[in-house]
Chain A
Amino acid sequence: MAEIGKTKLDSGWLAARSTEVQLTGTQLTTTHPPTKSTAPWMEAAVPGTVLATLVKNKVVPNPFYGLENEAIVDIADSGREFYTFWFFTTFQCKLSEKQHLDLNFRAINYAGELYLNGHRKVLPKGMFRRHSLDVTDILHPDGQNLLVVLIYPPDHPGRIPPEGGQGGDHEIGKDVAAQYVEGWDWMAPIRDRNTGIWDEVSIYVTGPVKIIDPHLVSSFFDNYRRVYLHATTEFENRSSWVAECSLNIQVTTELEGDVCLV
């Protein structure tokens, strides 16, 4: 039985340019998983961007030193497919009968599709949204799972005018994405427009009922002497039976050292 809670997937990732991989996502996560020693796969920076992965592997120079950014091809010249990358990893998870597993991406840029043990799921557009996928039914019974994610750059990466300027040609603003990446008066253009899995990836084990996005608010009375904490949350019952739940809320504060007040 897996322990309830979160496990970050922040190590062991591999990456490869999509145009250099001839296999499908299904093949990569079933019969032909990649290895670090096999070209074109390289160690990936997750969380991070495609450019961070290329810098990590010394495929391109560090753009923040001298004029090295000029040596890196811009997405306007290379095309979006040049910075469209596969990211691969594995994870262990063996659930009990009534447990569920979510695969969580706290943010990607800009859209993607993933394959887990040969099954395809879509990661819709948007740089500032979470993706949470219930993958309970597609886990491997032996506990070893293969995951690959194909990440596409923003739809409108734009072109940087020769004179530079504020936000390049402003095309990136047509997407819901960071806009500094076309360059600003304080920043050189980011060649991949920050394409990648740029925030935390995790798996999360729950029982039949899951807590979703609690909201905490306080209200104050009598010159801050009388204070109330208001807590609202969503619960989802993923089972096929009525769940009789015991909900618990507890507030503690550390007084000093290891002493807590409940």
Chain B
Amino acid sequence: EHLQTQQLSIHPGARVQYTFPQLFFYKPNLWWPNGMGKQALYNVQISVEVKGYGKSDSWSHLFGFRKIETYIDNATGGRLFKVNGQPIFIRGGNWILSDGLLRLSKERYRTDIKFHADMNLNMIRCWAGGLAERPEFYHYCDIYGLLVWQEFWITGDVDGRGIPVSNPNGPLDHDLFMLCARDTVKLLRNHASLALWVGGNEQVPPKNLNDALKNDLKLHPYFESPNETENSVADLP
């Protein structure tokens, strides 16, 4: 069930997008945040062999089955989270980066993030004025069960506030901002710990950037069934 081979012809010089037929799992071990259960991770491997050549490329990633929902509560105005259908009380830590000279390493990340887990936190918020964190950061958040709230690079530096007044309309090159945002999403999107993308710190990005981010990050219609976890077998996709 969890091993599949497909055939595909690709024209010379072409770049194609391909979707595998979906793989079925019966009651897989779910990934849970720190304190709610184990951080079950499956190793997904994709490889391509070319006729007359052999193995051409391969890729692998640790993948966690989890469903994260978040919404603003009407009664309190606060943001609530559910993981795998269960409400979770968020205990979060603010994060800028591991080292101001960017001497980043797996060892530093492992130590820093395990420390957060040992403090009984279950979320890290990556502030907009710092980094889009690195895959090693997310790897250890996957391992130790820290949900990640990742902000894009909009702060009080780019909203017309401050003394002297900052540039009011975000960074000068909006196309570059979106190029970086899209590339960052592709870099990080497969991590189980990645919970929420946020436009910026304590504010909304300039309208064109905000609209573009919201559009690019909206849920694909295929996954928009609000009660999919309660659907019956008759609703098989």
Contact = CB atoms under 8 A, between A and B. Distances in A.
A250 B25 contact: no
B42 A252 contact: yes
A101 B84 CA distance: 41
19 contacts: A64-B100, A125-B173, A166-B162, A170-B164, A173-B158, A175-B173, A178-B131, A194-B100, A199-B102, A207-B55, A216-B190, A220-B228, A231-B19, A232-B17, A233-B59, A236-B10, A241-B12, A246-B5, A246-B51
A122 interface: no
B162 to A, nearest CB: 5
A182 to B, nearest CB: 8
A174 B229 contact: no
Contact of A176 (B48, B134, B173, B220): B173
B171 interface: yes
Interface of B: 2-20, 22-30, 40-59, 61, 63, 65-67, 84-85, 96-97, 100-104, 127-132, 134, 153, 155-158, 162-167, 170-173, 176-177, 179-181, 183-184, 186-187, 189-190, 220, 222-223, 228-233, 235-237
Contacts of B24: 226-228
Contacts of A249: 3-4, 20, 23, 44-46
Given A176-B177, A219-B237, A129 B45 contact: no
Interface residues of A, number: 93
A45 B172 CA distance: 30
Contacts of A208: 50, 53, 56
Given A47-B102, A176-B153, A224-B30, A245 B96 contact: no
A222 interface: yes
Given A178-B129, A179-B155, A211 B164 contact: no
